[in-house]
Amino acid sequence: MRTRDRVRAIIEKLKEAYPNAHCELDFRTPLQLLIATILSAQCTDKRVNLVTPSIFRDYPTAEDLATASQDELEQAIKSTGFYRSKAKNLRAMANILVEKYGGEVPRGMEELTQLPGVGRKTANVVLGNAFSLAEGIVVDTHVARLAKRFKLTKSEDPERIETDLMRLVPKTYWTDFSHWLIWHGRRRCYARNPDCLNCELGTVCPSYGKFIKSAGSDKTRDAKRRLFQDPWKAPSIRRERNKT
């Protein structure tokens, strides 16, 4: 199967598996999403969502955040990790929003990536989810891992991975594609011990079955052996397993 054909098949499978995939950071405004995404660096969305309600309440505008006490802000976001640098970046970012953009979040990649604490990933999250603007593809740890397992990139560099994906994925799917991969990475294609036996994308994934440690029954072992010989023609391991 050619790479572009595989991408189309992957998209269809992901659409079917995760029709409601979305950004799992809680937000109501572009500023709230920008704050939440900065806090999400090296932190789970679940943890960020526990912290942000008080942040959004105490600092509802960029002006409020720009004049926040460093110490108080640090304490408020401490559980997200790297809280000193995050607090410093949040205050500096808010100050620039006030001085250059009237307190509003800009809608351009160049403008966003010039803000403290904002790289392409954060900018893509904000543009795609707050403004419905597809300027790129969010590449987090899940997207990077699945892109390699799907054989869509050979790179370890996030920006190179993004470039490779942008060449293969139609632009209309850029925002959704990252959501789908993130959801699949969190729910099925784990970093360790991915659930290949129950994977909805088994028929289109070139890495399908390669991470299974225990083959199980003789039928499953035979299916796994055939899978490695030709992953596109091999019968489903899950189907063989369910028959035993």
Residue 78 appears among annotated catalytic residues: no
Handedness of CA 35, 41, 44, 45 (dihedral sign): positive
Residue 50 token pair: 């526990």
What is the rounded CA–CA span in Å between residue 39 and residue 122?
10
Residue 146 in contact with residue 10, Cβ under 8 Å?
Answer: no
**Cβ of 235: how many Cβ atoms within 10 Å?**
12
What is the rounded CA–CA span in Å between residue 43 and residue 28?
20
Residue 15 appears among annotated catalytic residues: no
Residue 128 CA, distance from chain mean position: 12
**Cβ of 198: how many Cβ atoms within 10 Å?**
11
Catalytic residue, chosen from 121, 164, 176, 224, is 121
Catalytic residue, chosen from 140, 148, 210, 222, is 140
Active-site positions? 121, 140
